[in-house]
Structure 1
């Protein structure tokens, strides 16, 4: 059924409109009271979005067309014989796309017509593809044929991807709703949302790894348009509390706390699980999840049928379809995608169970702390690391690389760690390939965004540096980066002073026990 965003109430000469609770045509702002202009209803929030009422019968819409500007029909709805309104395929995606568009009339003081024409010409050039750089705040121009060939190479792995010729969206939607109905009928407190409306294929793209030789691509599969996305988000919310977290870090702050309470004796190194996401074994990880949620001799930790949870996890990870840049349809049959709500959950669950098995039969290092696929370790001697790497590889089936400290220094996350006789010295780590770009100080955006950019640099200097000399050096570096990106010195210095004063007060504030 199709619901208009407003209900009608029969009045005298004027028609009264009131917002409905379930709004299908929506914008990022709440609807205000619309105006009626002849046969056309417009919302003040989106003056270009018009619902043209073609006919009324007992104050019920029998047909309506959605317009996004003069003469452009996006979707037409026709009332079927049974009284229901049917929609064309792709409605949901079109509505989201139109609702998210900015339709303001403000003119830029920086970008003029020639800039816009140059950008449009670049975007429309079929020989050039513009992609965001991986882990960097800049964009890369890559020859389209090179980009497509690299994506084809990634998708040629038949152990991970399967090409399909028929769109399975409706079948998936029906299958998921059948399982959801079963769960909701038997579970007392837990209710999963049913899939309502139109859905589409996910889409695959690659971000260029400019920090690595060869500029390979990091594949990302956005599953937002797919029918499994909402269910996957709900499953991620339900299962996250059960992820084995004994050896995992949640943030850089956790890691800094760990270092501050550890001695520096021994050898430090980092272990990296190569291409973790695409090599997570799906069925094995699902079994790990089921073992954790449904212990053999215990009470289930979720009010959810085991078979139903297993079926939903398999659908969300192994059946979600997507389209590649060449327009072909695929589905990922093993490994998890970056872009899936279950990606990080599966990666952490799998690695957590691998570590649990590893340290049941192998001596744990004095420090072992993992953030998704990067692990910091401290061992008594260098010879302990190859056996640890070997057993991790044997149990997981993954490939690990070891990076040893150089001159007692080792980068981990965005922190540079230095071993000293008494404690670990830390400072902010910046990759050699970092181009020094950030939100431009002259950009036309709210001032609070620019202030937040400055604060982020200063807070990193304060939290990551173990000495005031390291803090001073990082603030000097950050100031130069900000100046290079168009920020005035006056604004930078004002925020630096405010953040340092705030930091000093927090560090010297009396705790409740001492008051």
Structure 2
């Protein structure tokens, strides 16, 4: 029952709201519109360990049965105090369809790793000096192709040729002053802190590496956080072939780190591939991090 304790207060609030709305439907009470959001906000606060009188044994049993049901996957909803239930087969199918997946956070990475089969060899790939080596004109072509031919969003009220030219002006005609007082113009690559830096990095890494997977068999698992890439391949030889092709197509230099004895750090997560095929995750702290706040 230990795993269910963090959810107990939210379940209590849900039961309370259900009872309130039932009384409202019967005309026995009236409810302020602010009540529901206030109660939901209260569900995320910790105010001691008072035992709930609203949650019954059946509620705990139902939650426990759901969490133990292999046919159902439970995930916390993004930016909401609730959980989403989805058939495990459908959830895994969506993950299996990932060819290049851009993680937005360590939580998304954990969801992906924990839901995918723990097969093959784990490794991480890292791009050396990505921002300063982004091919600007090639990336502008990728962006325009996505905006005008691949995006599900409505077309921009600007012609493609004009967007292309504006992006060139913003990236290739911007000047900066060096400490000696001279003015310089950066015609390729993006400097760290550039307003276009992350947009261009993601566009190039996503669209550019799609070309790789049109020519190379898809790995067991592939995902990235900007320039940090996580892969599962069938063996080390497959990873090396993938690495060579990535460097050939992107013209970037990459470093690789393979799991040692089934252990691999990635982002802030330490992954351990167990003998039974499962993957254990824990918080990873770099050896150079002294955990001292300045």
2:288 matches 1:433: yes
Give the whole-Å Cα distance in 2 for the aligned partners of 1:437 and 1:304.
50
Relative to structure 1, the CA distance from residue 381 to residue 245 in structure 2 (aligned partners, 3 Å threshold; closer, same or farther) is closer
Give the whole-Å Cα distance in 1 for the aligned partners of 2:206 and 2:154.
20
The farther-off stretch of 267-276 and 323-332 is: 323-332
**Counterpart of 1:295?**
149
Give the whole-Å Cα distance in 1 for the aligned partners of 2:119 and 2:161.
49
TM-score by length of 1: 0.36
Shift, 1:436, TM fit: 2.2
Summarize the alignment of residues 228-247 of structure 1 with structure 2, pairs less than 5 Å apart: 246-247=100-101
Give the whole-Å Cα distance in 2 for the aligned partners of 1:299 and 1:261.
30
Runs of 4+ in 1 over 3 A off after TM superposition: none
TM-score by length of 2: 0.62
Superposed CA offset, 1:420-445 (max 9, x none)? 12421111111111132225xxxxxx
SS at match of 1:416: strand
Give the whole-Å Cα distance in 1 for the aligned partners of 2:204 and 2:171.
14
2:192 matches 1:324: no
Give the whole-Å Cα distance in 2 for the aligned partners of 1:331 and 1:300.
34
Give the whole-Å Cα distance in 1 for the aligned partners of 2:240 and 2:115.
26
Relative to structure 1, the CA distance from residue 299 to residue 369 in structure 2 (aligned partners, 3 Å threshold; closer, same or farther) is closer
**Counterpart of 2:102?**
248
**Counterpart of 1:271?**
125
Unmatched tracts of structure 2, length 5 or more: 1-97
- Asked if the contact 1:293–1:300 (Cα under 8 Å) also holds between the matched residues in 2, the reply is no
SS at match of 2:222: strand
Summarize the alignment of residues 296-315 of structure 1 with structure 2, pairs less than 5 Å apart: 301-315=155-169
Give the superposed CA RMSD: 2.1
Summarize the alignment of residues 68-467 of structure 1 with structure 2, pairs less than 5 Å apart: 246-295=100-149, 301-420=155-274, 421-438=276-293
Give the whole-Å Cα distance in 2 for the aligned partners of 1:299 and 1:369.
24
The farther-off stretch of 384-393 and 415-424 is: 415-424
Give the whole-Å Cα distance in 2 for the aligned partners of 1:320 and 1:403.
37
Superposed CA offset, 1:117-171 (max 9, x none)? xxxxxxxxxxxxxxxxxxxxxxxxxxxxxxxxxxxxxxxxxxxxxxxxxxxxxxx
Superposed CA offset, 1:60-92 (max 9, x none)? xxxxxxxxxxxxxxxxxxxxxxxxxxxxxxxxx
Shift, 1:299, TM fit: 10
Give the whole-Å Cα distance in 1 for the aligned partners of 2:155 and 2:254.
33
Relative to structure 1, the CA distance from residue 299 to residue 375 in structure 2 (aligned partners, 3 Å threshold; closer, same or farther) is closer
- Asked if the contact 1:289–1:349 (Cα under 8 Å) also holds between the matched residues in 2, the reply is yes
Relative to structure 1, the CA distance from residue 367 to residue 399 in structure 2 (aligned partners, 3 Å threshold; closer, same or farther) is same
Give the whole-Å Cα distance in 2 for the aligned partners of 1:294 and 1:323.
35
Give the whole-Å Cα distance in 1 for the aligned partners of 2:182 and 2:292.
35
**Counterpart of 1:166?**
none
Relative to structure 1, the CA distance from residue 256 to residue 372 in structure 2 (aligned partners, 3 Å threshold; closer, same or farther) is same
Relative CO higher for 1 or 2, CA cutoff 8 Å, sep ≥ 6? 2
Give the whole-Å Cα distance in 1 for the aligned partners of 2:120 and 2:100.
22
**Counterpart of 1:102?**
none
Point out the structure with the larger helix share: 2
Report the structure number with the largest CA radius of gyration.
1
Unmatched tracts of structure 1, length 5 or more: 1-243, 440-515
Shift, 1:310, TM fit: 1.3
Point out the structure with the larger strand share: 1
Shift, 1:292, TM fit: 1.5
Give the whole-Å Cα distance in 1 for the aligned partners of 2:220 and 2:230.
11
**Counterpart of 1:62?**
none
Give the paired residue count: 195
